[in-house]
Amino acid sequence: MKTTKHPHTNRGAVILSLLFVLLFFIFIARFFVIESSQTVKGEEGKPVDLKNLAEEKWTRNRTIEADRGSIVDRTGKKVLAEDIPAYTVIAILDKKYPDHVKDVAKTAQKLAPILDMSETDLKRILSSEGRFQVEFGNVGRNLSLSEKEKIEELDLPGINFIESKKRYYPNGLFASHIIGFTNEDKETGKQKGVMGLEKDLNKYLTEQNGTVTYQGDRRGFELPDPDKVIDPPKKGYDVQLTIDQNIQLYLEQAMSEANKKYSPERMIGIVADPKTGRILAMSNRPSFDPNKRNVENFTNYAISSSYEPGSTMKIFTLAAAIEEGVYNGNEKYQSGTYKYQDGVRPIKDHNGGAGWGKITFDEGVQKSSNVAFSILAKEKLGFDRFKQYLHKFGLDEKTGIDLPGEANSRIRFQWESEKITTAFGQGTAITPIQQIQAATAIANGGKMMRPYVVEKIVNPNSKKIEQNHEPKQAGTPISKETAAHTLDILETVVTEGTGTPYQIPGYDIAGKTGTAQISDSGGYMSGWGKNIFSFLGFAPKDNPKLIVYVAVDRPNVEFPEAGSAPVSQVFKSVMKNSLQYLNIEPQEEKTPENKEKKEVGVELKDFTGEDSKQAEKTLKDKGFEVVVLGNGSTVKGQAPYAGSSVLSGERIVLKTDGEAKMPDLTSWSLADVLKVVDVMDLKPNVMGEGFVTKQGIDPGATVKEEDYLVVQLNPPNNSESEQGGGQDEENEESGSEGADDEITVTD
């Protein structure tokens, strides 16, 4: 049967075909227009650049985190504060995700001891409904690498980690009030200093994060792209302090021992280099571990607290009288009481006004006679000249030390009684750091040096030194001859006077004891030990390398133990260990046979780069005990350092380029232990005093740089205690040196 087409069918097909062809050519034309112009019309008819739109769609930016600047000790090698990796543990609960927590009870049981968290609390968190993942609060954050590895060893499904950074203080309780600590800034996510140098130098220490810009797919995975743009991160500036890690360690150790034994209200310790003003160590009690933020006391008493110094002030009154030519040490005066004005109570010597009869002024210094210094201030110097010397010694203004929060003194100089009592350290309040600065003039030939703790600030990216602090003279209050004369007299205070508990065999110590009264309800505290006891000492006397100041506030001592006992314990430990660390060897005992004989050391040569076996033989042939760390053939380091003065029989530590084994440290002194610490760049943790009885790294174990070395020290069984004793100005029943009408302590 023949089919007939509708007459319009072919015409419709032709029209439809032409329409499709037209649309095709319009599409092609539009394509070429877009291709050539790279733009289209967007919302509100505005042109949109397609190339830019594509880049925005596929371009990814990732932050590259930078490290906050490090804080190091004066060697530039010992890190005191740094950024280290930290980890937050998370648990994935979503069962749709392949790696999720499958056994809640088992996971809680395994994690509990590591996170120090109860299984019950962990189960509750791990059983949370509708959560993709959970965290475990503060206990699960800022985990160390070792803690992370312990958890990973458990091989628990669904347990993962987020990597971050945390501020870490390797030495824990160590110069804490100087260094301070940081907290996370909620706005920037960076660490921000909130105390100490971390806060004061925050603008230098703060890092600058970098970025990497790349092309990525829909899931964010990076695509191969040679045009990837990287803006590198910039670490914050590194800060090098004047603090010596070893000397600071001696101070921290000694203060912790005394603090444990005597439980005082507070303690202050400062060690300074009198030739430069560099602060080598500074500490307070109470203190804190900046890793734990367990801060009981935010005040750096060494610079931020002024109080009556007591008889350490007599050092500067004595020096002023010598400088003015009005001091005659052989001249005699009547000790006991001094009536300086009619109608007022007289000044009394600290033994209740009994005195010691008619004695010389030199004896008055040795016995710390308040009457002697009252006469010097009023009759010999005169108050106007005396006040001039308060200014010359910088005792009436801040030192300008580069630490936040320095306080000023409070000089009480209106009434005659105040002028007199200031001469022997009562009434007027002075900061410890002001005393240190003034003392540098005594120890440095009359040149007074400004104290400082920041050696330099370095840009680690360019290695450029942004700040370089040099020693700065703060004045010349006395002559070289006066300084030497003052030290000679202060030495007799230690050998014959109130300072005998501070003697150190083999070393000539010069110094002055001090006792300050403490105000209480308009009067003064009374009772045994209710004072601030202190000592300001110099060694070696003929050319002081160190000034050490120690103050202890209200130690828990029972009669007849002297309040000076904890002070002498700290001072002697710190001074002796520090002198030995600086290779200032003790002299032989001065007896009639060898009174002037001194044991002289030899200068240690530099063995770096030499054959280790030949270096060992050379040293042994000269009578030294040699310890070689490593099985390499070349010496890479040594302790003591080249140029040090060493004595026959001293232990020398050589480091080679091979694998090092830990020696048996049993019976080693702390000074020798620190030689190993220095050459291996270890992180020491020292407990106790005396000689090594236990060590954290077993003898023969492989030791690497920056390992932690814990050592326990104990005194030898047959040794007598070196703790100070005897009767001095500090252990009088009244606990006071001053006049009855003295001004109260300020703090």
DSSP state of 428: S
DSSP state of 347: E
Nearest to 439 by CA among 492, 399, 381, 494: 399
Residue 283 scores a pLDDT above 90: yes
pLDDT of residue 738: 37
Cβ atoms of 136 and 115 closer than 8 Å: yes
Full-prediction pTM beyond 0.85? no
Q: Which residues are catalytic?
A: 311
Structural domain 65-241, CATH architecture: Alpha-Beta Complex (3.90)
Residue 106 scores a pLDDT above 50: yes
The residue ranges of every structural domain in the chain are: 22-56, 65-241, 246-591, 604-644+650-714
Hey, what CATH class is 246-591 in?
A: alpha beta
Mean pLDDT score of the chain:
85
Q: Tell me how far apart the alpha carbons of residues 610 and 655 are, in angstroms, rounded to a whole number.
A: 11
Q: Report the range out of 144-148, 451-455, 644-648, 676-680 with the highest average pLDDT.
A: 451-455
DSSP state of 333: E
Average pLDDT over residues 542-547: 96
Residue 52 pLDDT grade (very low, low, confident, very high; cuts 50, 70, 90): low
Residue 5 pLDDT grade (very low, low, confident, very high; cuts 50, 70, 90): low
Spatial CB neighbours of 704, under 8 Å, sequence gap ≥ 6? 660, 680
pLDDT of residue 596: 44
Q: Report the range out of 293-297, 322-326, 523-527, 584-588 with the highest average pLDDT.
A: 322-326
Residue 343 pLDDT grade (very low, low, confident, very high; cuts 50, 70, 90): confident
745 φ, ψ to 5°? -70, 140
Residue 598 scores a pLDDT above 60: no
Cβ atoms of 553 and 568 closer than 8 Å: no
At 309-341, the pLDDT tens digits run: 999 999 999 999 999 999 999 999 999 999 988
The token pair that represents 19 in the structure block = 């329409």
Cβ atoms of 675 and 665 closer than 8 Å: no
In the chain, % of residues over pLDDT 90: 54
Lowest mean pLDDT among 183-192, 468-477, 598-607, 637-646: 598-607
Residue 463 scores a pLDDT above 70: yes
Compute how many other C-beta atoms are within 10 angstroms of the C-beta atom of residue 701: 12
The token pair that represents 185 in the structure block = 């800034």
Is 143 or 509 the better-scoring residue by pLDDT? 509
Residue 59: is it exposed, middle or buried by C-beta count within 10 angstroms (0-12/13-18/19+)? middle
Residue 547 scores a pLDDT above 90: yes
Average pLDDT over residues 365-375: 96
The token pair that represents 668 in the structure block = 């080693």
Average pLDDT over residues 285-303: 92
Buried-exposed string 370-384: b where 16+ CB fall within 10 A, e elsewhere: bbbbbbbbbebbebe
The token pair that represents 747 in the structure block = 């703090």
Residue 209: is it exposed, middle or buried by C-beta count within 10 angstroms (0-12/13-18/19+)? middle
Is 145 or 60 the better-scoring residue by pLDDT? 145
Spatial CB neighbours of 139, under 8 Å, sequence gap ≥ 6? 115, 116, 117
pLDDT of residue 594: 46
Residue 688 scores a pLDDT above 80: no
Gyration radius (Cα) of the chain, Å? 36
Q: Tell me how far apart the alpha carbons of residues 222 and 534 are, in angstroms, rounded to a whole number.
A: 66
Spatial CB neighbours of 317, under 8 Å, sequence gap ≥ 6? 373, 376, 377, 381, 386, 389, 423, 424
Helix (H) or strand (E) holding 362: helix 361-366
Domains 65-241 and 246-591 agree in fold: no
C-alpha triplet 580, 289, 272: angle, nearest 5°? 35
Average pLDDT over residues 75-89: 91
Residue 599 pLDDT grade (very low, low, confident, very high; cuts 50, 70, 90): very low
Q: Which residues pair with 348 in a beta bridge?
A: 337
Q: Tell me how far apart the alpha carbons of residues 201 and 75 are, in angstroms, rounded to a whole number.
A: 20
Lowest mean pLDDT among 134-143, 679-688, 738-747: 738-747
Helix, strand, coil content of the chain in percent (nearest 5) = 30, 25, 45
Lowest mean pLDDT among 176-190, 211-225, 613-627: 211-225
